[in-house]
Every structure is written in C-alpha cells, then in structure tokens.
Amino acid sequence: MELRSCLQASIQSGMAHAESGRKSAQSLVELRSLAARVLAHVSTSKDSLEESVNLVLSAASGKTFQDFDRAWIYEIASGVLRFKGRLDFIIDTYSLKKKPTGEIRRFLQIGVYQLLAQDVPPPLAVSETVQAIRQHDGEAPSKFANALLRKVSDSRESWIHWKVSEASPFEEQVAWCSLPEWLFKKLRKERGSEWVFSFSEAVLDRPQVWYRTPAETILLNEGYRGDEPPGFVQDISNQKLVDAVVEFLKERGKSPLRILDLCSAPGGKSLGLAFAGFSVIATDIDDERLQRVRENVSRLNLREKIEISSYSAIHESEAKFDVIWIDAPCSSTGIIRRHPEIKWNRTLHDVDRMVLAQEDLMTWAGRHLSPGGLVIYSTCSLLDVENNTKVQGFEIGKRLEWVPQNAPRGDGIRAVFYLHKNC
C-alpha cells in the first residue's frame, strides 16, 4: 500500500469537520504550533493522543477553538505518529551536517507528512512550516527547513513509492515499518520479516468504524447517520471474539452460567454477552472507566442482564464463577492503528510489568473458578510473552487470533480459552 492511498481515508475522516464549511478560529501557522505541542506532550508522557490534544488546547488560554481546529490538530498529530519512523528517516536523509531536534524536528515532521500524505499544495506546506519555524526559532533554522522541505518536495514521488525488503539495511526496515526498534525486533523474531512488513503497513491506515446492535453489525462508512438502532461502537475483531465466546458457551450447553467480566470497561464484552442472552457480572479496577460501563448498560436498558459490581468487592470475595473473562491489561500492540501513540510510549519494561499483572489476574481466576469452569484470557497484544500465561490445573480449549493485515482488518486480538482438566 502506498503512503498516499494508505492515508486517504484517514485524511477524510480526520478532516470531516473542516469539510463542513467551518473555518478555523486560529491561523494554520498557530494550529501547526499547537500540533507540535501535542506531539511534544505525547513524547514526554504516556498520555493518549486524545488526552494530549485536550491538555494542550486547555492550556492555550484566551483562544477559541472551532471543530475545524481540533480536527486539524488531531489529524496532523495522528498522521505524524503513524508515520513517525518514515518521516524521521526522510528528515535525517537530508540533514547531512546536523540532525534537527526538539521543536524544529516536530515542525519538520508535520511539514513532511503534509507533503507526502495530504492534498496540500507543496508550496503552501513548505511556506507555512517555514513561517512557523521562523516565528518560534528564528531566521537561520527557517532557512534550513526551507531547503530541506524543498528537497523532499522535489523527490516526493520516490518517497511515496518507497519500499523495503529483507535485503534492505536494518535501519531502513525499521524506519519504513515506523516501529520502535525494540518492537520491530521482537515481532520479527516471533513472526518473521514479511509478517512485520504486512502488519506495519496495515496499521498506517485508520480502522473502519463498526457498530454493534442486538441484531446486526453495521459498518459506519459515512459516520453516524443518527438513525442507527440502539447499540455501541466496537471494533470488529472484538465483535468476532465475543461471537466466538458465545458460540463456545452455547456448545458447552451449561446454563444458567455465573459469568464474571473482570476487566470489563468500557463494556463491549458484557454488552455482547447480554445481547446473546447471558447474564453477566461486570467490574473493572478503574472506577472512572467502570462508570462508562454503567452508562452503556443504562442507555441500552440491560440492567436486568448486567450487574455492575465494584472491583474491591469482587476481588476480595470468596465467590466462585462458572466463566471468568479476563481482558487483561497489556502493551496494546494490537491497537496501534487506532492509537498510534502506543508505538512510541511503550517499552520492554512496560511489557514485563504487564506480564506480572496478567499472571496475578490468572492466579486469582484459578482460585475463583467453579469446578469445570472456563477462563477466557484475551489481550490486544500481539506479543507471545503476553499470550502464553500458564495456569496449573487447566488445559487449553481453544486459541484465537485476529491481526490487522487480515480480514476483517480490525484490531490485533488474541485469546485463549482455558478449561479445567476435569471438564
């Protein structure tokens, strides 16, 4: 998939408000500066892109932001984060004497992203980037930026069609995949180079938006119409997983079941099970996120099917359950299409920390499972270390996986169904 075509849907989605005819309350040079601040915040924190946009705009006191402004900033920052590896490689290719850093690099990332991925006239993208750098850093850096961006503009077609292979230099492979080196190496070791290339390319595009109702799944190609039946947005891979769990439970034929959704927020798993006729106890360690489950349950009138319980009450009790679903906290490497910042704010240390938490949850589940019960363990991580948790006294009943590069092109989701050996 070429850079331009890969991003076309992303641009159309991110700029929907701009196309509605609204105009910015700020100059595009000022919006460019705000987008650079968002990128700086993402790089120095573990905040999500959405949180970073909200924080930066809230801190811009005395300024009014229209829908256009927020959409423009989000689209630019999102695009840069998706393609950051490629953008940095291109910038460094033309920075022979000294590699730009800090704010100048962020402005250049924005400019190169526009040159290669947006339908912005190249002279306009160059001039606005140069103007922003001149205002913030002075004349000399702006001249450097002007020369660099003009070189990129002159060779933009070759960069748009840039490809790599296993024979390419290592640093080029990492840059083209736009992954941090640790994640590239880990995935390549586990899956092979061709898999990593395919995966990396797939997650450069925005995901499709899927809407789940009790009767059907709807693809929202054109966004919300406003006349959809009651339901909720849920990634298609997660919907496939819920469907697989429902089918597995019905095949086992044990009913009624005492089902616990241990890490339930924002509620998609519980809601899907309730749509299929099951009763669920839902909880989550994050009270704020658990409130989202309450809101969804109330909105969809599922209070008779879904009981909300505090995490402490569940975790400290001696209750037993027939089914415990652990959608475990993880590195989230499978959802970087939706959250590109994850690529750059996760580390190997984070993975190790997550594995310890996952093992604790599985140990707890083993103590609170009824005889003959089922543990469903799922993550949105594609790393083997987060999906091979061992549980004494259990055998694997089923393994499932969906990856972004394969149909239906949703999130990267993995799941294991653990059964008591005496089942």
pLDDT for 223 equals: 77
Q: Is the pLDDT of residue 5 over 50?
A: no
Domain positions in the chain: 3-162, 213-420
Q: Is the pLDDT of residue 8 over 50?
A: no
Domains 3-162 and 213-420 share a fold: no
Q: What is the mean pLDDT of residues 388-405?
A: 88
Domain 3-162 has CATH 1.10.940.10: yes
- What is the C-alpha separation between 380 and 403, in angstroms, rounded? 10
Q: Is the pLDDT of residue 423 over 90?
A: no
pLDDT for 6 equals: 41
- Residues 107-133 have pLDDT tens digits of 999 999 999 988 889 999 999 999 999
Superfamily of the domain at 213-420:
Vaccinia Virus protein VP39 (3.40.50.150)
Mean pLDDT over all residues of the chain?
Answer: 91
pLDDT for 244 equals: 97
pLDDT for 4 equals: 41
- Residues 343-381 have pLDDT tens digits of 999 999 999 999 999 999 999 998 999 988 999 999 999
- Residues 139-171 have pLDDT tens digits of 999 999 999 999 999 999 999 999 999 999 999
- What is the C-alpha separation between 388 and 109, in angstroms, rounded? 38
Q: What is the pTM of this model?
A: 0.90
- Residues 197-256 have pLDDT tens digits of 999 999 999 889 999 999 999 999 877 788 889 999 999 999 999 999 999 999 988 778
